[in-house]
Homo-oligomer: A and B are copies of this chain.
Amino acid sequence: MSSMVQTLSSMANTILDQSTVIAVTVFVALLCACIVIGHLVEKNRWANESIAALLLGLASGAVVLLVSKGQSSRVLVFNEDLFFIYLLPPIIFNAGFQVKKKRFFKNFSVILLFGIFGTVISFCLITLGAFLLFKKIGITSLTMKDCLAIGAILSATDSVCTLQILSQEQTPFLYSAVFGEGVVNDATSIVLFNAVQSIDFSNIDGLTALKLLGNFLYLFFTSTILGIAVGLLSAFGIKTLYFGRHSTDREVAIMMLLAYLSYMVAELLSLSGILTIFFCGIVMSHYTWHNVTESSRVTTKHAFATLSFIAETFIFIYVGMDALDITKWKESNASAGTSIIVSLALFALVLVGRAAFVYPISCILNCTKQGSEEIELKKQFIIWWAGLIRGAVTIALAYNQFSSSGTTSANVDAMMITCIIIVVLFSTVVFGSVTKPLIQAVLRNNANPLTSGENDFASLEDLRLLSLENGGAVDNGNNQSAPRRSKLQLFIRHPTSTVHHLWRKFDDKFMRPVFGGRGFVPFVPGSPRSAAEETSDLNNSN
């Protein structure tokens, strides 16, 4: 028998590359383990899937290190393409697909302020801090360009972990503010990073900043428009061609592929794929999702969530496994003390950089807005805290900056990568596990834990009144008995609600008749209504 096995092994796998097979097997097995662990610790408020994945990744990295006798801890080499092309798109698309749209757009100004100005402030502070710091420590081989890159790298928050920590149901305002900021922040920091890489430092003038601003605006608007266009195309195509007539699978496939196509086209045109696919997801859940058959609705809702979930877990395992990359640690050549000091300093810069924009911007928002929208100090604290986590985007950018810049200062480059990995690991494990209980503790003392939720109901009520007043489509029955308020009064009290109301009117009159959407697709008799109701939480916020 053993000789037969031997014969088999010798004749086996002349076809497949054995190392790829091993790597994929290990990752799939770890993913399964993470899911089981995540299920078992579901009720534990300190642990979650990300941390389990990170620790499992670290552990298996250590095992590989021991087995290979200190030669290598890497089963897969960290690959930016893998991350940006295959793992990130499903996560961001699903976030857009499942986001509570009304809530998101209500906080749009907050999100934009935090995501754009906040990131720029944080970038400037971290760059300045890193510049001064490295001078003081005595690391001279880092140029101004490297410091600028560090500023951009450490300004990129981790929207993936945020999604796991904050709950869309329990803390809706915080979720939409912090996660929305994360999406816009991604775009901003990638623009900044690309700008830093291409700017000619011998020739800086006042125009440079203006150019950067122009670039950002161009990127922001074209990316958003591209995402919306692809989303509308999918809605129109599925409505017109009526794929469900022949096959549910084609509907699901075309939704998936078009969403992915929007991301890839954005990347191809050097736009922000993240912004594009996020808005594509929003448009798809608003229009396309209502045009497909009932089984496709259930399938897309859960399949997109599952894919996103697998990609998230994969990233954390990957980051954990990558942390023990022994060659980087050897190359870095720095003492443990120096590494720790630099990491601590970088993390302190992250803390300060984020505080420097969360509190001021919140104050400005509080001053200019009505009392009901106020961001209290506690919430400011949570926004600051929850956005401190750094993740895979940071690592990917760090590798990009410091792994191919030549051999002149290889050990400093390696040290920067290891220090950034320490920052990412520390922030993910510590902040990832502490944040959930912290939010509960902070908000429990609050008399009104769901203040923002109540605001939401209040403005929803106003919206209903407003549409009643105009003879809108909502609840036409009780038109007479409803109390009346003046339009102007409503606009002053809730400007966003009014904008939302105008959008709804436009949507009902022009958009939905063309692109479909809830209530604008003929009900197919015999299709299971209950499945639609079960999944109707996707609509709650339309």
Task: Give residues in A with beta carbon < 8 Å to B.
Answer: 4, 7-17, 20-22, 24-25, 28-29, 31-32, 35-36, 38-40, 42, 80-81, 84-85, 190, 193-195, 197-199, 211, 214-215, 218-219, 237, 241, 243, 246-250, 252-254, 256-258, 260-261, 264-265, 267-268, 270, 294-296, 298-299, 301-303, 305-306, 309-310, 396-397, 400, 528-531, 533-535
- Taken together as a complex, chains A and B put the C-alpha atoms of A247 and B261 apart, in Å, by 29
Given known pairs A14-B197, A14-B400, A21-B267, the reply for A254 and B8 (CB within 8 Å) is no
Given known pairs A36-B241, A39-B247, A250-B39, the reply for A261 and B25 (CB within 8 Å) is yes
Q: A4 and B218: CB pair below 8 A?
A: yes
Q: B31 and A246: CB pair below 8 A?
A: no
Question: Which B residues are in CB contact (< 8 Å) with A8?
Answer: 215, 218-219, 270
- What would be 25 A-B contacts, judged by CB atoms less than 8 Å apart? A8-B219, A9-B270, A11-B195, A11-B197, A11-B270, A14-B400, A15-B80, A16-B81, A16-B267, A20-B85, A21-B267, A22-B268, A24-B85, A25-B268, A29-B261, A35-B250, A42-B247, A248-B302, A249-B302, A253-B309, A256-B310, A257-B310, A298-B298, A299-B299, A528-B534
A35 to chain B, nearest CB (A): 5
Q: A400 and B250: CB pair below 8 A?
A: no
Q: B303 and A299: CB pair below 8 A?
A: yes
- Taken together as a complex, chains A and B put the C-alpha atoms of A533 and B530 apart, in Å, by 12
Task: Across the A-B interface, give the 8 residue pairs with the lowest CB-CB distance, nearest first.
Answer: A12-B270, A11-B198, A528-B530, A299-B302, A25-B264, A303-B303, A531-B531, A252-B306
Question: Which B residues are in CB contact (< 8 Å) with A264?
Answer: 21, 24-25, 28
Among B39, B246, B258, B529, the residue within 8 A (CB) of A32 is: B258
A1, closest chain B residue (CB)? B218
A19 to chain B, nearest CB (A): 10
- Taken together as a complex, chains A and B put the C-alpha atoms of A310 and B16 apart, in Å, by 22
> In this complex, which of A16, A42, A219, A260 has the most chain B Cβ atoms within 10 angstroms of its Cβ?
A16
Given known pairs A7-B211, A194-B11, A303-B252, the reply for A243 and B25 (CB within 8 Å) is no
- Taken together as a complex, chains A and B put the C-alpha atoms of A84 and B265 apart, in Å, by 28
- Taken together as a complex, chains A and B put the C-alpha atoms of A38 and B241 apart, in Å, by 12
Q: B310 and A14: CB pair below 8 A?
A: no
Among B81, B214, B306, the residue within 8 A (CB) of A253 is: B306
Among B7, B81, B252, the residue within 8 A (CB) of A302 is: B252
Q: A28 and B81: CB pair below 8 A?
A: no
A45 to chain B, nearest CB (A): 14
Question: Which B residues are in CB contact (< 8 Å) with A15?
Answer: 80, 84, 190, 193-194, 396-397, 400
A252, closest chain B residue (CB)? B306
A321 to chain B, nearest CB (A): 17
Among B32, B84, B256, B306, the residue within 8 A (CB) of A306 is: B256
Question: Which B residues are in CB contact (< 8 Å) with A10?
Answer: 198
> In this complex, which of A194, A397, A535 has the most chain B Cβ atoms within 10 angstroms of its Cβ?
A194
A155 to chain B, nearest CB (A): 15
A12 to chain B, nearest CB (A): 3
> In this complex, which of A8, A24, A193 has the most chain B Cβ atoms within 10 angstroms of its Cβ?
A8
12 further contact pairs, Cβ within 8 A, besides A13-B194, A32-B254: A4-B211, A8-B270, A10-B198, A11-B194, A16-B84, A21-B85, A28-B264, A29-B261, A253-B309, A257-B310, A295-B531, A530-B531
A488 to chain B, nearest CB (A): 40
A245 to chain B, nearest CB (A): 8
A131 to chain B, nearest CB (A): 22
- Taken together as a complex, chains A and B put the C-alpha atoms of A302 and B15 apart, in Å, by 31
Question: Which B residues are in CB contact (< 8 Å) with A268?
Answer: 21-22, 25
Question: Which B residues are in CB contact (< 8 Å) with A247?
Answer: 39, 42
Question: Which B residues are in CB contact (< 8 Å) with A39?
Answer: 241, 243, 246-247, 250
A28 to chain B, nearest CB (A): 5
Question: Which B residues are in CB contact (< 8 Å) with A248?
Answer: 302, 305
Q: A4 and B256: CB pair below 8 A?
A: no
- Taken together as a complex, chains A and B put the C-alpha atoms of A22 and B42 apart, in Å, by 41
A254, closest chain B residue (CB)? B35
Among B211, B243, B261, B302, the residue within 8 A (CB) of A28 is: B261
A4 to chain B, nearest CB (A): 6
Q: B257 and A31: CB pair below 8 A?
A: yes
- Taken together as a complex, chains A and B put the C-alpha atoms of A38 and B15 apart, in Å, by 32
A417 to chain B, nearest CB (A): 16
- Taken together as a complex, chains A and B put the C-alpha atoms of A198 and B4 apart, in Å, by 13
Question: Which B residues are in CB contact (< 8 Å) with A42?
Answer: 246-247
Question: Which B residues are in CB contact (< 8 Å) with A80?
Answer: 15-16
- Taken together as a complex, chains A and B put the C-alpha atoms of A31 and B270 apart, in Å, by 22
Question: Which B residues are in CB contact (< 8 Å) with A257?
Answer: 28, 31-32, 35, 310
